[in-house]
Amino acid sequence: PNQDMGYDVSDYLDINPEYGTLADMDVLIGEAKKRGIRIIMDLVVNHTSDEHRWFIESKKPDSPYRDYYYWRKGRKNNKLPPNNWQSMFSGSAWKYDEEVDLWYLHLYGDKQIDLNFHNPKVIEEVKAILRFWLDRGIYGFRCDVINQIYKTTLANGRKRLHQTGREHYLNQEGNHRILREINDEVFSKYDCMTVGETYMVDYQNAKRFIDKELDMVFQFDHVNVDRKKVPLFARRYVPRRLKKILFGWQNNVEWNTNYLENHDQLRSIPRFGDEKNYYLASGKMLAMMIMFLKGTTFIYQGQEIGMTNIGTSDMSLVKDISAINVYGLIRKLGFPHKAALKLVNNINRDNARTPMQWNAQENAGFTTGKPWLTINPNYTRINVENSLNDETSIYHFYKRIINIKKEIPALCYGDFQPLFTSGKLMAFLRTFGNDEYTIILNMSKKRQKNPLFLRGEVVVTNYVGHDNYENQRCLEPFEGALIKTR
């Protein structure tokens, strides 16, 4: 129903008519396979839509689906929610249903109802969903909020400004048990890839998830580097912090997911680079960072052409349910419109969801109709067509470094070693057998002294004409280089 951009599923075994039919999906899978492309799907099983058949049936008193969800009596004669848990989108995580005279749990929107994984039937339903799609030729899943599916207890949580109750549902032992079971009985039987979205995961839990449960996990420490403890509030981005976080994950987890953007994050160039003065240089430096760290690189749509945030001055144009809820909450607390709008622009997921910018024609070539979301006005400059025709574009740089990575085993499978952790330079080694490659990146908009005397072949750099890092005493703003040092 798209109450939260598709993260409210009403039928796990069909395609949303807005996008086509199941037959269309079969054609897509087959045609992609012919071209060497493997399709993975987004698996959303922490919750279903309130329009899902299971939830509708669960409202009936003697329904076998009643225990598919968390229906509970409230406190104070059913006048207050069953506990003090908070929704990820602000407010209580419980909603009262007059028809049933009970409250139901929703960690996200009130139309996204949490499934009860204490019920073995729910786990069997999930296995059946997975087999359905894997048998149709899907090659794996990105598992949405997969470390939150098991609620150990519904006791009150320790009071926090954000996410009260999380100690009872994040990274629980039951969660690991269920994923091991699903992996044993489903994932391990297919040639497939799984990556879990695991909010607030630490090294230890991440290693457990990727041991016998999933192939990889998305952690969020590095994309919260410019956030305060309550992620709604921004703080100044400091490159040294980002480097420390990334190096920590590289040193503690054998195989990482290297990404800077996704459908929930702000665009990376204005966030970690310099959109105004060093757009190309910073975009290419960030590309080198995620491409040459150890692990699997994930590139989000539009990132390869350097798309940027749109921002908004009109809340009526905002589609992100989380941003809308936060704006309402901030206004209720007495903040003026401008202050609330500034906060929204720092978290608004619409920034990453604007339509793909294909060309400089009307609506960026995305549609001849009315776009579902406002198109970034910079589409006449930043678009696929311009990128294809410009050999110096971020797009062509991505193509180049992808090919380099594929050709050099050290960059795919080699060991990782940080060279230094202080300052605004990031430098690390990738080694494989007798081969050694050094990556050095200036993460700032100022020239930085180069403490390394890097003798060797310059494989790639984002600054034309820089081909000798043995004698180069400084790195230019957002300069990056890959050098074969052995």
Both 321 and 469 in one domain: the answer is no
Return the higher-pLDDT residue of 162 and 131.
131
Supply the pLDDT for residue 232. 75
Q: Residue 231 pLDDT > 80, yes or no?
A: no
The reply to whether 240 and 376 lie within a common domain is: yes
Q: What is the CATH number of the domain that holds 419?
A: 2.60.40.1180
| Predicted pLDDT at 229 | 80
- Confidence at residue 3, expressed as pLDDT on a 0 to 100 scale: 83
User: 74 versus 231: which is more confidently predicted?
Assistant: 74
58 with 41, same domain: the answer is no
3-state SS string over the chain? Answer: CCCCCCCCCCCCCCCCCCCCCHHHHHHHHHHHHHCCCCCCEEECCCEEECCCHHHHHHCCCCCCCHHHECEECCHHHHCECCCCCECCCCCECEEEECCCCEEEECCCCCCEEEECCCCHHHHHHHHHHHHHHHHCCCCEEEECCHHHCCCCCCCCCCCCCCCCCHHHCCCCHHHHHHHHHHHHHCHHHCCCEEEEECCCCCHHHHHHHHHHCCCEEECCCHHHCCECCCCCCECCCCHHHHHHHHHHHHHHCCCEEECCCCCCCCCHHHHHCCCCCCHHHHHHHHHHHHHHCCEEECCCCCHHHCCCCCCCCCHHHCCCHHHHHHHHHHHHCCCCHHHHHHHHHHHCCHHHHCCCCCCCCHHHHCCCCCCCCCCCHHHHCCCHHHHHHCCCCHHHHHHHHHHHHHHCHHHHHCEEEEEECCCCEEEEEEEECCEEEEEEEECCCCCEECCCCCCCEEEEECCCCCCCCCCCCEECCCCEEEEECC
Q: Is 290 part of any domain?
A: yes
Identify the band that residue 4 occupies on the pLDDT scale cut at 50, 70 and 90.
confident
Does a structural domain hold residue 12? no
Mark whether 144 is an active-site residue: yes
The verdict on 109 and 128 lying in the same domain is no
Who contacts 338 (Cβ-Cβ below 8 Å, separation ≥6)? none
Within a domain: 4:
no
Answer yes or no: do 150 and 223 share one domain. yes
**Catalytic residue status for 114:** no
Exactly one of 4, 8, 144, 436 is catalytic; which is it?
144
Domain membership of residue 306 as a residue range = 22-45+120-387
- Select which of 197, 304, 320, 436 is catalytic: 197
* pLDDT score at 233: 82
What is the pLDDT, as a whole number, of residue 350? 96
Q: What is the pLDDT of residues 206-225, one digit of tens each?
A: 999 999 999 999 999 999 99
CA neighbor of 209 nearest in space, from 262, 154, 172, 163: 172
Task: Kindly indicate the confidence band of residue 184, based on its pLDDT and cuts at 50, 70 and 90.
Answer: very high
pTM for the full predicted model: 0.95
Number of domain units in the chain: 3
Residues 260 and 322 in one domain: yes
Judgement on whether residues 28 and 96 belong to the same structural domain of the protein: no
Asked if the structure places residue 17 within a domain, the reply is: no
Shared domain check, 420 and 342 = no
Q: Is residue 456 one of the residues assigned to a domain?
A: yes
What CATH number has the domain bearing residue 104?
A: 3.90.400.10
Say yes or no to pLDDT of 8 above 80.
yes
Q: Is residue 297 part of a domain?
A: yes
Condensed to tens digits (0 to 9), the pLDDT of residues 261-314 reads 999 999 999 999 999 999 999 999 999 999 999 999 999 999 999 999 999 999
Q: How far is 321 from 326, CA to CA, in rounded Å?
A: 9
Residue 236 has pLDDT above 90, yes or no: yes
Average pLDDT, the chain: 96
Please, which pLDDT band fits residue 241 given cuts at 50, 70 and 90?
very high
pLDDT at position 230: 76
Q: Within this chain, do residues 107 and 124 fall inside the same structural domain, yes or no?
A: no
- Note whether 486 and 441 are within 8 A (CB): no
Phi-psi label, residue 113: left if phi above 0, alpha if psi -120 to 50, beta otherwise: beta
Same domain, 193 and 245: yes
Q: Which pLDDT does position 262 carry in this prediction? A: 98
CATH number reported for the structural domain that contains residue 189 in this entry? 3.20.20.80
Q: What is the CA radius of gyration of the chain?
A: 24
Q: Do 167 and 265 have their domain in common?
A: yes
CA nearest 293: which of 321, 326, 260? 260
Match 């609620």 to its residue by tokens: 151
Same domain, 288 and 140: yes
Residue 161 falls inside a structural domain: yes
**pLDDT given for residue 258 in this prediction:** 99
Which pLDDT tens digit goes with each residue over 29-54? 999 999 999 999 999 999 999 999 99
In a domain, 397, yes or no: no
CA distances, 144 to each of 43, 46, 47, 264, 400 (Å): 6, 8, 10, 12, 31
Residue 466's Cβ-side half-sphere holds a number of Cα atoms within 13 Å equal to 20
